[in-house]
Each structure stands twice: as C-alpha cells, then as structure tokens.
Amino acid sequence: AQKVTQAQTEISVVEKEDVTLDCVYETRDTTYYLFWYKQPPSGELVFLIRRNSFDEQNEISGRYSWNFQKSTSSFNFTITASQVVDSAVYFCALSEYPQGGSEKLVFGKGTKLTVNP
C-alpha cells in the first residue's frame, strides 16, 4: 500500500531563514502523482503543487521550490526567506489508484511550520 512519511512533526524558524520540509513516499505504481498542500491556521487546504512520476525536474515558484528525486523516493519542499505568513501545516500526498476505483490521495501526517518574527 502507498505510504507517505513526513518525519518532521514541527519546525520552528526565524523569519528570512530558509527551511526544507521533507517527504518520503512508498509506492509500487510506476505512474503516480505527488502533491503538497498548505493548511494555514484558518483551516482550509490550499493546493501548492502536483508533480507526476515521470517529471523529475525541480520546480520553483517564487520563494517555493520542490525537489523530486525518484532514486530516494523523496519530494522535498523548500521555502526560501521564510515569512510569518508561511506558518501553517504542510501536507505531502501521493495519489493511489485502487482497483476499479478512482484516484484517492494518501496524506502524510503533516509538518507544522512556525515562522517567528
């Protein structure tokens, strides 16, 4: 079965520091998708990125960047020059395709990031 591990339960940094959130996954599928979602204190789940298993190119979006390495089954997320507004719980997720069913997401347990002023 699919599994997503976010080993860092909580991280605390000072504003402007760079921070990397780790995500390691397990799957037997050859085609799969990886996701990151952000859950700010207000509670909603905000989609950040989707990456398919055939695309190992790193992605950068503003202060956010993602490093996908199939060799280590990792999909890490880096925030550069962190800001207080980045404080949230971040979830890594993996798509799973049950036989006869539609895609479902398997989530990691989340990493709570606190950015202090």
Partner 1 sequence: DTAVSQTPKYLVTQMGNDKSIKCEQNLGHDTMYWYKQDSKKFLKIMFSYNNKELIINETVPNRFSPKSPDKAHLNLHINSLELGDSAVYFCASRRGGGTDTQYFGPGTRLTVL
Residues at the contact surface with partner 1, assessed by CB under 8 A: 33, 35, 37, 39, 43-45, 47, 50, 52, 89, 91, 95, 98, 100-105, 107, 109-110, 112
Minimum distance from residue 81 beta carbon to partner 1 (Å): 26
46/81 with CB nearer partner 1: 46
- The 10 Å Cβ neighbour count of residue 2 is 18
35/77 with CB nearer partner 1: 35
**Contact predicate 109/9, CB 8 Å:** yes
Minimum distance from residue 107 beta carbon to partner 1 (Å): 4
Minimum distance from residue 61 beta carbon to partner 1 (Å): 14
> Which bin fits 21, alpha (ψ -120 to 50), beta or left (φ > 0)?
beta
Element of type H or E holding 77: strand 74-79
- The 10 Å Cβ neighbour count of residue 41 is 7
Tokens of 51: 């990456």
The residues near 101 (Cβ < 8 Å, ≥ 6 apart) are: none
30/102 with CB nearer partner 1: 102
98/116 with CB nearer partner 1: 98
Minimum distance from residue 51 beta carbon to partner 1 (Å): 11
